[in-house]
């Protein structure tokens, strides 16, 4: 069953930004979706309204105890002008897994899908078409009860906002290029039993101290190591990490500490389909450094909704640069990017059944 929500159209549509200068999360469309939850009533009163600031009580629990979650997904413009989503069912499933961990009420799939598709349809003129661009979709839920009790809220708001975007890393504007990444061996992101697998804001707030350190060392992002020993590679600040050593592509296993990326899952499926050996297993940072030095580290890249495929040319670890091969974009990362972004935008035939037209 699909829902049709009431729409209040904006009286003052905004001027659309230059599609070649979008950056990431700088512009927002004309409308947004809001729905409320009250204990005993469930999710109710979904509606599409003009994009505008919301009012929130200063004592709202989310502002103090951060009971919230978010998702990240994209809509793409195909060569024929259609609009399509990429594996939205995976975002829905991950949302409810996060909700369960954060004590946020579950939502039914039809509400989620109807909210996303109807909002994107209302703002369909905002889906960009320039190479490398898309419409980023940010669904989020937050506890909104006026209370200082450290308990799950009895009231929530579910919202969806949309942002036309280019590359997350400016280095990838107009095509792929490599970034330099800081290997963080002091602070940690997530431990087993924590919230590492959940998409909640606290995971990112706790990571900003390390991102600041990375920026001070002219690095674009952080590569996290495991919490217990600070020795095993986990994920990049915004994305999952892949390491190609000789002919094996290795990525961290899903042990509850890393985000189960939808792009990560898609990359694994594509590599397997192409007959490239891919392993979800623990990998020591010492082995990565050793491989960089002896030349067996062929490629490193990250994958994510925002990051898409971001090749890494250098890993800065314990005061030393470890160049990955020749420091340039590798053929595997390039092929994964071309295929994945091609499927997402309809330029490459979707023989995986991943895209959903709006």
Q: 231: number of CA atoms within 13 Å, CB side?
A: 6
Candidates 96-104, 123-131, 289-297, 303-311 — which segment interacts with ligand COI by CB under 6 A? 303-311
Closest CA to 69 of 35, 39, 103, 40: 103
Select 291 or 306, whichever has its Cβ closest to ligand COI: 306
CB of 200 to ligand COI, least distance (A): 11
Count of residues touching ligand COI (by CB under 6 A): 6
What is d(CA 107, CA 350) in angstroms, rounded to the nearest whole number?
Answer: 29
Q: 147: number of CA atoms within 13 Å, CB side?
A: 13
Q: What is the DSSP string of 281-296?
A: ---BHHHHHHHHHHT-
Candidates 123-131, 300-308, 317-325, 335-343 — which segment interacts with ligand COI by CB under 6 A? 300-308
What is d(CA 87, CA 71) in angstroms, rounded to the nearest whole number?
Answer: 13
Select 204 or 316, whichever has its Cβ closest to ligand COI: 204
The one-character DSSP state at 329 is P
CB of 178 to ligand COI, least distance (A): 19
Write out the E strands in 149-280: 155-165, 179-184, 221-225, 233-236, 239-245, 248-251, 277-280
Select the residue interacting with ligand COI from 72, 139, 166, 196 (CB under 6 A): 72
Binding to ligand COI (CB under 6 A) within 216-275 occurs at 238
Candidates 53-61, 103-111, 157-165, 301-309 — which segment interacts with ligand COI by CB under 6 A? 301-309
Select the residue interacting with ligand COI from 107, 288, 306, 332 (CB under 6 A): 306
Please give the structure tokens belonging to residue 91: 């975002």
Select 72 or 143, whichever has its Cβ closest to ligand COI: 72
Per rule CB under 6 A, is residue 105 in the interface with ligand COI?
no
Candidates 5-13, 285-293, 298-306, 338-346 — which segment interacts with ligand COI by CB under 6 A? 298-306
Binding to ligand COI (CB under 6 A) within 186-215 occurs at 204
Give 131-185 as a 3 state SS string. Answer: CCCEEEEEEEEEECCECCCCCCCCEEEEEEEEEEECCCCHHHCCCCCCEEEEEEC
Interface positions with ligand COI (CB under 6 A):
72, 204, 238, 304-306
């Amino acid at each position: 069953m699909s829902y049709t929500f009431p729409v209040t159209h904006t009286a003052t549509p905004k001027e659309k930004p230059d599609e070649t200068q979008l950056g990431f999360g700088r512009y927002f469309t004309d409308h947004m979706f809001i729905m409320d939850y009250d204990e005993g009533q469930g999710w109710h009163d979904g509606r599409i309204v003009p994009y505008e600031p919301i009012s929130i009580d200063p004592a709202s629990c989310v502002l103090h105890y951060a009971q919230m979650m978010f998702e990240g997904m994209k809509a793409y413009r195909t060569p024929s002008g259609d609009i399509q989503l990429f594996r939205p069912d995976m975002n829905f499933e991950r949302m409810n897994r996060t909700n369960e961990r954060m004590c946020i009420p579950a939502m039914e799939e039809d509400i989620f899908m109807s909210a996303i598709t109807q909002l994107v349809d209302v703002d369909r003129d905002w889906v960009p078409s320039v190479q490398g661009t898309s419409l980023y979709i940010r669904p989020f839920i937050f506890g909104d009860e006026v209370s200082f009790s450290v308990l799950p809220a009895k009231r929530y708001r579910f919202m969806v906002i949309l942002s036309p975007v280019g590359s997350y890393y400016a280095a990838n504007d107009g095509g792929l290029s490599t970034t330099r990444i800081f290997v963080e061996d002091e602070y940690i992101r997530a431990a087993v039993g924590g919230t590492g697998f959940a998409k909640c804001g606290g995971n990112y707030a706790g990571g900003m101290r390390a991102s600041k350190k990375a920026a001070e060392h002219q690095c674009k992002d952080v590569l996290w190591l495991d919490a217990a020993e600070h020795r095993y590679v986990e994920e990049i600040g915004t994305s999952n990490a892949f390491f190609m050593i000789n002919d094996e592509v290795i990525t961290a296993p899903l042990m509850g500490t890393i985000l189960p990326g939808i792009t990560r899952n898609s990359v694994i499926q594509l590599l397997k389909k192409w007959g490239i050996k891919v392993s979800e297993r623990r990998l020591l940072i010492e082995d990565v450094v050793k491989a960089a030095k002896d030349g067996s580290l062929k490629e490193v890249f990250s994958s994510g909704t925002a990051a898409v495929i971001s090749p890494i040319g250098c890993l800065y670890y314990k005061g030393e640069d470890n160049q990955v091969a020749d420091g340039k974009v590798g053929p595997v990362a390039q092929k994964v990017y071309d295929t994945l972004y091609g499927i997402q935008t309809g330029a490459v035939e979707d023989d995986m059944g991943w895209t959903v037209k709006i």
